[in-house]
Amino acid sequence: MDLKRQKINVLGVDIDDISQQKAVDAIIKMAKGEISSHYVVTVNAEFVMLARRDPKFRTILNGADLAVADGAWPLWAKLILGGKEHKRVTGTDLVEKLCEKSADLPIRVGFFGGFGNVANSVAKRQKTQYIGLKVVIAEPGDSIMGSDSKLRSRFSQVGRVDILFVAYGMGRQEFLIEKMRKVVDVGVFIGVGGAFNYLSTVKKRAPRWLQDWGFEWVWRLFWQPWRAKRMIRVFPLFWILVLMQYLRQKLLFAKRR
């Protein structure tokens, strides 16, 4: 589907320069269409760095119908490299906004992933909050991930799913979506990472002002200090590479003048 919007290449990953509202509208349009197997990726800095090491993962990201800047770092990088939209489009916010809008439309949604009963918990909360929301599947799905026949069987029981939120974390969920697209009837798959944890209140999300300023990652680091190792591996190299890309763009622009 050609969304006809500007994409900004951040270290080899194409990210849509799009507002949350336009992203929601685009996903609803895809969900209402007859064509299945659209997919949306929510990109953070670790996605970008993994894509540099794994060409298959990069291909999946760049083949998405919509790639939004979920994390603050790719958002800031996108702005440095020519983007205009100043706000993140997070997986957690997409779930809520899409459920709110879908409640008044003939759109069937599903929640797939997470651990334990968290997918079902999110589904119940969203149905309570948005009366009229049509949830047709809500489960962890671990027991059926490895078999195409089991996937087909499970989803054939519920029929068409217009929007399926998939929450298995970076990389794992994208490769699962790539597999599921070939065997089940889903209008739009959306990888939402840890969104189910926050929407089910298993984990507490950062205050709104931290989210708006782009420092939600600081909140997560405070509550999950083990993330520090991951961030130390990613942060310096990510910004060095972004700076190098910015300088190359400037040099190329200067040569063309």
Round to whole Å and give the CA distance between 44 and 30: 23
Entry pTM: 0.88
Token pair 């939004």 is at which residue? 68
pLDDT tens over the chain, length 257 residues: 445 569 999 999 999 999 999 999 999 999 998 778 999 999 999 999 999 999 999 999 999 999 999 989 999 999 999 999 999 999 999 999 999 999 999 999 999 988 888 999 999 999 999 999 999 999 887 645 556 677 788 888 899 999 999 998 888 899 999 988 988 999 999 999 888 988 887 777 767 767 677 777 776 676 667 666 666 777 889 999 999 999 999 888 888 87
* Amino acid, single-letter form, for residue 140: P
Burial (CB count <10 Å: 0-12, 13-18, 19+), residue 158: middle
**β-strand partners of 7:** 16
Helix (H, G, I), strand (E, B) or coil at 4: coil
Contact 5, 14 (CB under 8 A): no
Domain ranges in the chain are 7-217
Round to whole Å and give the CA distance between 238 and 115: 30
* Amino acid, single-letter form, for residue 248: R
Name the DSSP class of 144: G
- Tokens found for residue 218: 């600081």
Helix (H, G, I), strand (E, B) or coil at 113: strand
What lies within 8 Å, CB to CB, of 135 at 6+ separation is 108, 109, 110, 111, 123, 126, 127
Round to whole Å and give the CA distance between 112 and 167: 6
